[in-house]
Amino acid sequence: MKPNVTISIVSHMQADLVDKLLSDIAFHCKSEALDVVVTLNLLEELPFSEKRYPFPVAILRNSVPLGFAANHNQAFTHARGQYFCVMNPDIRLSDDPFQVLVTCLGNPFLGVVAPLVLSENGKVEDSARHFPTPLKILGKAFGRYRDNEYAVEDKMIFPDWVGGMFMLFPRLIFEKLGGFNPRFFLYYEDVDLCARLRLGGYEVALCPDAKVIHQARRDSHRNLKYLKWHLASMTRFFCSSSFLRICWLRLTRRHLNR
């Protein structure tokens, strides 16, 4: 049976987390037609067999490490589902998020939908945000920053962008946009793609009826290498034509979407 959803997971020496996530998917998503593409970005031994799960699991092994965008774009070339899901290995499931999210994507104006992301202690994470600007980044550096930029209620939210820890796309729209921009090695790939979606006339949505748990690592807060990647990606986005077009449309009070 052809899968309805293809899930792309990239491991950076995180095979134990991948194993737990695959087990969550197998336990909670029994009614879904799924296949999974796991990319090992670094050489590591797997503590599991891909044959132990009730859905097909393809393992890709990189000879050299790739960035977030290139890895998921590579996985997309192996995807067979009508929908393409990008999911971090540090996501955990307590129920099936796909039934609700796929139903949301019945709206042809939606380019991507995400679940409500909770921390391990149940706090709502800031996974839905306004587009960043240099002024906002400066304010964040000086502590003038709200944890959540959009109020979470019972209805769907239409933010500027959603975080790349869990994004579900209609296959045809992801393909039409050319996937993630591989010029971003790490960070801001999600911001850039959501910007291109919205400039193309599609909405970005977060559905609070679907929830996942994020065991966040926050590497850029502790590791200088990750911080450098973060700053480089931020600069690339602020110099991009997408960001400049968004600024112009908002300056002239024009709508980004339909």
The CATH number assigned to the domain holding 152 equals 3.90.550.10
Determine the pLDDT at residue 148. Answer: 73
Task: Please give the structure tokens belonging to residue 73.
Answer: 């774009």
181 within domain boundaries:
yes
Q: Mean pLDDT throughout 97-126?
A: 95
157 within domain boundaries:
yes
| pLDDT tens readout for residues 130-148 | 999 988 877 676 666 666 7
Domain count, the chain: 1
214 within domain boundaries:
yes
**DSSP count for the chain of H helices, then E strands:** 8, 10
256 within domain boundaries:
no
44 within domain boundaries:
yes
User: Can you give the residue range of the structural domain that contains 163?
Assistant: 5-251
43 within domain boundaries:
yes
Task: Please give the structure tokens belonging to residue 47.
Answer: 């503590």
258 within domain boundaries:
no
The strand ranges marked E within 32-175 are: 34-40, 57-61, 83-87, 91-92, 110-118, 128-129, 161-162, 166-170
Of 180, 172, 156, which Cα lies nearest the Cα of 67?
Answer: 180
Is the predicted pLDDT of residue 19 greater than 90, yes or no?
A: yes
Is the predicted pLDDT of residue 128 greater than 80, yes or no?
A: yes
257 within domain boundaries:
no
| pLDDT tens readout for residues 149-195 | 888 888 999 999 999 999 999 999 999 999 999 999 989 999 999 99
User: Residue 168: helix, strand or coil by DSSP?
Assistant: strand
**Cα angle for residues 1, 28, 158 (degrees, 5° grid):** 90
Q: Mean pLDDT throughout 114-135?
A: 92
Say if strands 83-87 and 161-162 run parallel, antiparallel, or are unpaired.
Answer: unpaired
Distance of CA 88 to the CA centre of its chain: 8
